[in-house]
Amino acid sequence: MASTPLFFVTRDSIENDRVVITGADASHIVRVLRLREGAPLLVSDMQRNEYTVTITCASPQRVECAILSQRVADTESPYRITLYQAFPKADKLELVVQKAVELGAAEVVPVLSERCVSRPDAKSMENRLTRLNRIARAAAEQSGRGVLPAVSPPVPFPQMLEGLLAADLGFACYEGEREYKLRDLLADVPQPRTIAFFIGPEGGISEPELELLRRHGLPAVSLGRRILRTETAGLYVLSAISAILE
């Protein structure tokens, strides 16, 4: 049986016992899903509040709904995870964003590290960010998230280090590490509230970057015996965090 579709709205779209959905979501509800008056929907205010609603009036421009019940979404992790992903080649970042959102990431931040091959210009990056955030929204709705994860503008490696240091648990994943494994790190830090980690590009983390990580006291961990592609590694980490800490 198909699940009830979920849509994100802003708080000002919810008033008393009514919800109004407009724009592309309204068009999708009417023209793609072909839902009409009386059909059920789930609506999230992006602040972990989830509403069960029923459509009372529907057009491609505006869908009005009556709220039947409200609850706190139980799909969010007890910690906030930020994935710092070195900019990969081609359209791999789209896959990373989609799956990272499904696996619980609260934010994906592209990183311009030393060995990144892809370095989009400002205009190209602006367009790409718009598309990536659309992908994140669709993935969040599909997976029933209680918040709307963001894809942030790219940052240079030194700025990424600041993000790792600010988290309760910050680390990098390095294919050259053999002894200190991800599971060892997760066992050493009980119940972090914020987690941030870095995945390097296709060419790996450079020696100067490794030295910067060490100088700041940030651990580099192994993801096991096999070398994972850059678009796979972050998803592996998110899955492991969920399995071990949740």
Looking at residue 2, what is its pLDDT?
A: 54
Q: What average pLDDT score do residues 31-54 get?
A: 94
* CA triple 48-53-56, angle to 5 deg: 145
Q: Read off the amino acid at residue 23.
A: G
What percentage of residues in the chain have a pLDDT greater than 70?
99
Q: Topology of domain 80-245, per CATH?
A: Alpha/beta knot (3.40.1280)
Phi/psi at 177 (5° precision): -80, 135
Q: Which residue has the tokens 């000002």?
A: 12
Looking at residue 98, what is its pLDDT?
A: 98
Looking at residue 245, what is its pLDDT?
A: 86
Looking at residue 121, what is its pLDDT?
A: 83
Q: Could you give the count of Cα atoms lying within 13 Å of 168 in the half-sphere of its Cβ?
A: 13
Q: Please write the tens of the pLDDT for every residue from 100-130.
A: 999 999 999 999 999 898 888 878 889 999 9
Q: Which residue has the higher pLDDT, 82 or 187?
A: 82
Statement: residue 134 has pLDDT above 90: yes
Average pLDDT, the chain: 93
Phi/psi at 4 (5° precision): -70, 130
Q: Please write the tens of the pLDDT for every residue from 138-183.
A: 999 999 999 999 999 999 999 999 999 999 999 999 998 888 999 9
Of 120, 109, 121, 62, which Cα lies nearest the Cα of 84? 109
Statement: residue 186 has pLDDT above 70: yes
Q: What average pLDDT score do residues 87-96 get?
A: 93
Looking at residue 1, what is its pLDDT?
A: 38
Residue limits of CATH 3.40.1280.10 in the chain: 80-245
Q: Which residue has the higher pLDDT, 198 or 1?
A: 198
Q: What average pLDDT score do residues 45-51 get?
A: 92
Phi/psi at 11 (5° precision): -60, -35
Q: Please write the tens of the pLDDT for every residue from 195-236.
A: 999 999 999 999 999 999 999 999 999 998 899 999 999 999
Q: Which segments of 157-218 are extended strands (E)?
A: 169-173, 194-199
Residue limits of CATH 2.40.240.20 in the chain: 6-72
Give the class (CATH, top level) of 6-72.
Answer: mainly beta
Among the residue ranges 57-66, 72-81, 105-114, the one predicted with the least confidence is 72-81
Q: Which residue has the tokens 């008033």?
A: 15
Q: Which residues contact 19 (CB under 8 A, 6 or more apart)?
A: 9, 13, 43, 51, 53, 64, 65, 66, 67
